[in-house]
Copies of this chain bind each other. A is one copy, B any other.
């Protein structure tokens, strides 16, 4: 081995994380006696000496990340969007792997997140999942940027703020799932989901949807786009509005699976057969998507990979390493509701 041994060398030999080594060498109770002895033995063999300066710097951090969930006031029995709940497992696991604790709380819109978490040394950085109206939320992001609080967020890229955003390529997803329907002969499209400034992700899906129509020589009819927030109820009501336009329809592209469950319900109530008379496709691939009848064709956002990436990028930010936005490709999941399954 060249040069002075570092805690990473010990970690490598002991098959543990660097933070475990660091804990073991300061006799932290978080490390079992057996592991501590093993690490101390390796440290001795390598003539390792603690860099006091680096060690004291490190101890000023909390080795804790805070996950701030959006508490959805429109949702009746679940307070958290199921798509975000599905990320919790992989975020928790990745934090454990990297030696970070995970604090979970709701995004209190009237709180100063920087002071509550970073200034008070509760957390080294923040992970933000979900938001209500994007415009209110953007003001909170600006505050965090002003204080140089390390944070990452799940969502569409922000043009106006310098944040680390991780999301899926919503435009591509909207394009991809619409193109699939066009290829299989659907021509008369409705779109359900809010497309205003407060919902940039739904809007990107809509823009991708329109792009696919344009490329195929079809026209996006603005009258057949109906706003809905992310609830089954809104999907149900928006579908009734859409049908009230009394225009021919053979496909409905929906901005989320949760909204799509309401769309399916409304079509069933009106006696419109899915997919025979009208195809329906969703977005997200939440657990319920495979249980609806017909099972929902959708655009999967890989929530496991997303959780890992959010934690990894945040830890890079905390360490002062450069990070970039990341947008994952969506995956088309063909089930029954699009009518193209063999």
User: Residues of A with Cβ closer than 8 Å to B?
Assistant: 28-30, 32, 64, 67, 69, 71, 77-80, 82, 85-86, 88-90, 92-93, 95-96, 101-106, 108, 110-112, 115-116, 119-120, 122, 261, 287-288, 291-293, 304
Contact = CB atoms under 8 A, between A and B. Distances in A.
Contacts of A287: 78, 82, 287-288
Given A28-B120, A32-B112, A85-B88, A103 B102 contact: yes
10 contacts: A30-B120, A69-B92, A71-B93, A77-B86, A80-B89, A82-B287, A85-B86, A95-B105, A261-B291, A291-B291
Contact of A77 (B32, B96, B304): B304
Given A29-B120, A120-B28, A93 B78 contact: no
A101 B77 CA distance: 23
A29 B88 contact: no
Nearest to A69: B92
A117 to B, nearest CB: 9
Contacts of A101: 103, 105, 122
A14 to B, nearest CB: 15
B30 A116 contact: yes
A113 to B, nearest CB: 11
A105 B32 CA distance: 18
Contact of A88 (B30, B88, B119, B291): B88
A124 to B, nearest CB: 14
B85 A79 contact: no
Nearest to A23: B120
A96 B110 CA distance: 14
A93 B116 contact: no
A304 B92 CA distance: 22
Contacts of A85: 85-86, 88
A106 B96 contact: yes
Nearest to A108: B96
Given A30-B120, A103-B103, A88 B80 contact: yes
A89 B67 CA distance: 13
A137 B94 CA distance: 23
B71 A115 contact: no
A288 B93 CA distance: 24
A79 B93 contact: yes
Contact of A104 (B90, B92, B261, B291): B92
Contact of A29 (B92, B119, B304): B119
